[in-house]
Structure 1
């Protein structure tokens, strides 16, 4: 048997319900929650969030890789040893594939794709250029000329020395990217830069071993 609810009790219940409704209205009027990376990707047509630093890194690294490919192209015509020719071939193939990836990444996001001729040397957004205005590790015109003119054992020494310099510069660029706010949150970018560091660190160690058996010209 249900007992009649006293008027005072009904008033108390209504007050509680009214307060809850008011609280809900106030809560819903608060600032919206930030979107998750997955929600942002859906909003942007499936493209994960990226930053200006990500874009500038990709644009700069295309020119950086292009120089490494040019350096590697000298190995066979300049009489490099078989070990250096194999190394140069691997670098050329790997970095050409990586340039393809970076160009596709930029196009998908409707960003400027720089030419592969090495003209895009200035990386002002991440402030990674040195006094010469070039990115870390990039060979100067004089160094490129020295490498292009070297032959045989002399070429081996210059190639191993200059490519080690070049690789260390690429790793410096990755380090700068990782320190930039909210950069490399895109899984593809993070995997790419991780591979760059792993592959080029391994190649530096290999080149240092080969250098020990090559006399300085």
Structure 2
């Protein structure tokens, strides 16, 4: 008959604990050994799922965009920049409250869109300028020089006239020019919706069509009452 002295009981408890830990560890290894362990990266200590997490700009992989996307961004950037220049002129020149509000809305919407499109071109490895990016591009008999007339861009003369105007004269001129300017942007955006491939570019194009179409209607109503 075994006499269970205090010392013997302590040894038995330690042995039982060791066996239990070993058994639990074996079960854990068995459970992980099937699928998860095969995907472990023993060099970095990261799992396969973590390693495959896309980084910023990861969706800009080769084939995710096409020439229409590039052209849209390259042409819409200077188009937006001119709209911002026109909107900034309203400060201190516009007299109509709604004109002032629309000018502020244009600045608020288009400034971040410019930054977004520049980030796309950088990710795509394309220049911001359509002229340098697409040397063979022909927008008419005058090449890139015809871009202004085809996209609703204002000429230098138009901009100088707008700068010189104030009050109701400015309000009317601003509204007329912005209708033409917006219609050019809408045409460009609709072309991107039809021919583009990049999902984010097409999404921005849809936003341009929706927002600027609504603003065109507002500007036309302003012209009817001033």
Instruction: Answer whether TM exceeds 0.5 for this pair.
Output: yes
Instruction: Give the distance between the partners of 1:194 and 1:107, measured in 2 at CA.
Output: 22
With over 3 angstroms needed to count, the CA separation of the structure-2 counterparts of 1:46 and 1:123, relative to structure 1, is closer
Report the secondary structure of 2:178's partner residue: helix
Structure 1 runs (4+) greater than 4 angstroms displaced: 119-132
Q: 1:138 to 1:125 in 2, by over 3 A?
A: farther
Query: Residue 153 of structure 2 corresponds to which residue in structure 1?
Result: 138
Whole-angstrom CA distance in 2 between matches of 1:75 and 1:141: 17
Structure 2: segments with no counterpart, 5+ residues: 1-53
For structure 1, the residue ranges without an aligned partner over 5 or more in a row are 1-40
1:76 Cα offset (Å): 1.4
Match in the other structure for 2:219: 207
TM-score, normalization by structure 1: 0.68
Please tell me whether residue 109 in structure 1 is matched to residue 124 in structure 2.
Answer: yes
Q: Is the 8 A contact 2:192 2:205 kept in 1?
A: no
Q: 2:68 is matched with which residue?
A: 53
- Counterparts of 1:170 and 1:209 in 2: how far apart (Å)? 20
What's the counterpart of residue 195 of structure 1? Answer: 207
- Conserved in 2, the CA contact under 8 Å of 1:59 and 1:113? yes
- Corresponding position of 2:90: 75
Aligned partner of 1:167 among 182, 204, 217 = 182
Residue 86 of structure 1: how far off its partner (Å): 1.0
Please give the alpha-carbon distance, in whole angstroms, between the structure 2 residues aligned to 1:164 and 1:130.
Answer: 25
Residues 94, 45 of structure 1: alpha-carbon distance in 2 compared, 3 angstrom cutoff? closer
TM-score, normalised with respect to structure 2: 0.65
Following TM superposition, by how much is the alpha carbon of 1:47 offset from its aligned partner in structure 2, in angstroms? 2.0
Query: What is the CA deviation profile of residues 1-35 of structure 1, one whole-angstrom value per residue up to 9, with x for unaligned ones?
Result: xxxxxxxxxxxxxxxxxxxxxxxxxxxxxxxxxxx
- Once the 2 structures are TM-superposed, how far is the Cα of residue 160 of structure 1 from its aligned partner? 0.3
Distance 2:112 2:188 in 1: 19
> How far, CA to CA, are the matches of 1:164 and 1:57 in structure 2?
20
Is the CA contact 2:190–2:205 (under 8 Å) kept in the aligned structure 1?
no
The answer to whether the 8 A contact 1:60-1:123 is kept is: no
CA contact (8 A) 2:172 2:223 kept: yes
Q: Counterpart in 1 of 2:114? A: 99
Give the CA deviation at 1:158. Answer: 0.3
Q: Distance in 2 between matches of 1:188 and 1:167?
A: 21
SS of structure 2 residue aligned to 1:133: helix
Among 60, 63, 66, the alignment partner of 2:81 is: 66
Higher-Rg structure is: 2
